[in-house]
Amino acid sequence: MQFDNRYATLSPKLFHKQAVESLPKPKAGHFNHALAEQLQWTEAEQADWVNIINGTNLPNEADPLAMVYAGHQFGQWAGQLGDGRGLLIGQALDQNQKLTDLHLKGIGLTPYSRMGDGRAVLRSVIREYLAGHALHHLHVPSSNALGFIYSHELQIRREQFEPSAILLRTSDSHIRLGHFEWINQYQPDLLQEFAQHCLENYYPDCLNAESPILAMAKQVIDRTAYMIAGWQLVGFAHGVMNTDNLNITGSTLDFGPYGFMERFRPNWINNHSDNQGRYTYQNQPSIAHWNLWVWLNNLIPLANTELANAQDKEQFKADLATCLEDFEPAFLNYYRSGLAKKMGLPQDDDRCFDCGMAFLRILQAEQLDYTSSFRRLTDHAYTALRDDCIDTRAFDDCLSIYQAIRKDADQNSLQLNMQQHNPIYILRNHMAQRAIELAEKDDLSEVERLFTLLSNPFEKQAEIERAEDLAPLPSDQPEVMVSCSS
């Protein structure tokens, strides 16, 4: 690996350096060799991945540190937070010289652990490992993971005692919106230095703008809108969209009580800790907007700096608010474009979006599976779709409009769009649960199968698929729900 630890050059008030608390008698979980190749891991490093993840043989250039940040959790100010069980072990350059964070999760106590034990359990690590991999191959911006290890020797108490685990995840950045909240609240003198760091390392094209901060804000807003549209299009619910769980580069971070929606229910709550339904699937765009509003408010003190180039504070505040107005149209543009591709409709037809929304209303009313229904549409399995409907008239009306829109369009390009945007496979909760239960018995075969399946979600893989991969659990079986406990 080629390290370039730029975050470690910032003020030491922003982090705490410490060693990894290794797991006793670690077992190999799974390793993403393809990602390791992209990050220029040597053959020796790949062969020794268990010890690297366990912290017993980190590369000499590694410089582990726990980040401090703050955040709003479920809409309420939570004060100081931080990496309570994670360490940024370094930043590496990939094959394209792009900076990538290497972050260990489950490494023991840090100064920011609060009431936690600093550990992660095998269950949550497998879920995060597979989720990042799944989103990556669904073309949704996301953190990913290189691999995980686990140990039966160290049992961690959650609802029950569970095997401990450590995950090595990657992301283009672990700088969260909540980093700015912490600095503005506790170390405001560091705000300009930190903003400069973000500009130089993540938005260098903004440095020459008249107002670099405004230019960066616009790009963060646009990237976040793109990510959220991606979530909505693949039916992904994050589950806990606190301001400390969103980063400044618009890539999915922190897979806790997430889920991929099965039966289409816009008000679906995957996180059983979310009693008020704040983070339902349908609320994700508005929550992202709110989180960005919080973040932008923490940029206001930069008004009188060279990074803002504002005439006065009130004008700068108004300019930031204007930036935020771009979020909704950006999100809708990305979502409309993606929905047209999923539907196989020409984007320049004004009827396209209405037809797509009509199809979604049918899925909701009939409680049909989101992913498999779009795939049936892709395969022109209209009879099978109709047979699943009680209100066949609504389906027939929608299909009639749909076919009329498609009639004179380029069928080949529309079909290709559908095949590239409607996956056959998603990570259903019950699929992940089966992999977890087997892994806890030292059988990693299901983790390997799902890793392979999710590596190519748009192509049929009959030789390794199971019937359960293609549909939700029967209606007489309870859904698998998850909580923030991990």
Binding residues: 82, 84-85, 105, 117-118, 169, 176, 245, 254
Question: Any idea which residue has 């990496």 for tokens?
Answer: 83
Burial class (CB in 10 A: 0-12, 13-18, 19+), 413: exposed
Extract the tokens encoding 391: 């209100």
Two structure tokens written together for 137:
């191959």
Cβ(213)–Cβ(308) below 8 Å: yes
| Phi, psi angle pair for 316, to nearest 5° | -65, -40
- Which residues make up each annotated binding site for ATP? 82, 84-85, 105, 117-118, 169, 176, 254
- CA nearest neighbour of 253 among 141, 335, 148, 147: 141
- Annotated binding residues for Mg(2+), written as ranges, equal 245, 254
Closest CA to 240 of 162, 323, 178, 170: 178
Cα distance between residue 137 and residue 235, in whole Å: 14
Tokens of 56: 């017993």
Give the C-alpha separation, 43 to 55, whole Å: 18
Residues in the chain: 486
In order, the DSSP letters of 134-146 are HHHHTT--B-EEE
- Does residue 244 carry a catalytic annotation? yes
Of 63, 101, 172, 244, which one is the catalytic site residue?
A: 244
- Residue 215's SS3 state is helix
Nearest partner of 100 among 56, 51, 38, 18, judged by Cα? 38
Structure tokens at 457: 């979600």
Count CB neighbours of 145 within 10 A.
26
In degrees, rounded to 5, the angle at the alpha carbon of residue 145 between the alpha carbons of residues 196 and 288 is: 55
Q: Residue 65: what residue type?
A: L
Active-site positions read 244
